[in-house]
Amino acid sequence: MRAMRLLALLGIVAAASLAWPAFGPAARADQDLWPGLAQVLFPNGKLVEDGTIIKLGTPLSAEDAALVPITLHMESATDSPNDPNRITKLTVVIDNNPSPVAAVFEFGPKAAVTSIETRVRVNQATNIHAVAETAGGKLYVSASYVEAAGGCSAPSATNLDPNDPEIGAIKVRQLPPEYVSSDPRRKEAVVMIKHPNNSGMQMDPTTHLYIPARYVDSLRIMQGDDLLFSVTGGISISEDPNFRFDYLSNGTSVMHVAASDTTGKKFAKDWTLNPAI
């Protein structure tokens, strides 16, 4: 039911993008769309800027507008399920994109994720906002400005056939933790999905027709029976979605990854973890 509500929320914002001229693809880069977006997405909460809770990192200028790296740092992550300061949800909003909500992350109660890196499409110069929600119901926001153009309509680098069996292939890599931690349970991994993540704004170079939107709209990463995090995605996540993240290991030997896209196609992968990494 919670996932359905998130999908409905994405639909509301997409509808707002069409109904409100300021939210559409013709919005000027100098327009401040955030107050209206914040009112729609978080109507009952007060957003507080606090870099000790959530910090968003982006390049000032994108080398490739279709592959803009972003980093989300959550300094107050905890593995205590009853801690009111535990971050339960994180929403990434690319203000000037045609569909502003890029992704909604929901975290397992014991995952203690402190960092997520991924790549997004940026259609024009814009502010990007990351909003963290705690178990106690507080909302914290971090913002970053990016200069970019044309990311949502940029042609795919792979142009996979819609029936290509490689679509949905999942890879998992374990990595040595980027930052030294006093807790030996802290691990790091990256999950990669082979998928064009078509935005619906890209044109087929042969037919000159728009390629129908098809993107990964759901991702769930588990360690054993415990949720690390889930993602409800939109058109702003770049092709071949990948997520690099840290977490606290619960000692299980298997990481389960399950995903689906907007055509209803489902993908899954079980990865045996190396306890030495």
Contacts of 26 (CB under 8 A, 6+ apart): none
pLDDT at position 21 over 70: no
* DSSP string across 55-97: EEE--SB-SSTTSEEEEEE-TT--S-TT-TT-EEEEEEEETTS
* DSSP string across 131-148: EEEETTS-EEEEEEEEB-
CATH superfamily of 2-20+34-272: SoxY domain (2.60.40.2470)
Domain ranges, ordered by start, for the chain = 2-20+34-272
Distance CA 60, CA 229 (A): 28
Contact 188, 174 (CB under 8 A): yes
Residue 275 burial class via C-beta count within 10 angstroms: exposed 0-12, middle 13-18, buried 19 and up:
exposed
Question: Tens digits of per-residue pLDDT, 202-216?
Answer: 888 888 889 999 999
Residue 76: the pLDDT is 62
Tokens 């037919």, located at residue: 207
pLDDT at position 18 over 60: no
Distance CA 100, CA 118 (A): 16
Distance CA 103, CA 97 (A): 13
Distance CA 254, CA 155 (A): 36
Give the predicted TM-score (pTM) of the model.
0.88
pLDDT grade for 26, boundaries at 50, 70 and 90? very low
The closest alpha carbon to 92, from 262, 229, 226, belongs to 229
Distance CA 25, CA 145 (A): 18
Residue 31: the pLDDT is 75
Residue 7: the pLDDT is 42
Tokens 């170079």, located at residue: 205
Higher per-residue confidence, 75 vs 198: 198
Distance CA 31, CA 70 (A): 22
pLDDT at position 259 over 60: yes
Q: Taking residues 244-252, what's their average pLDDT?
A: 94
* DSSP string across 4-52: HHHHHHHHHHHHHHHHSGGGSTT--TTS--HHHHHHHH-TT--EEE-TT
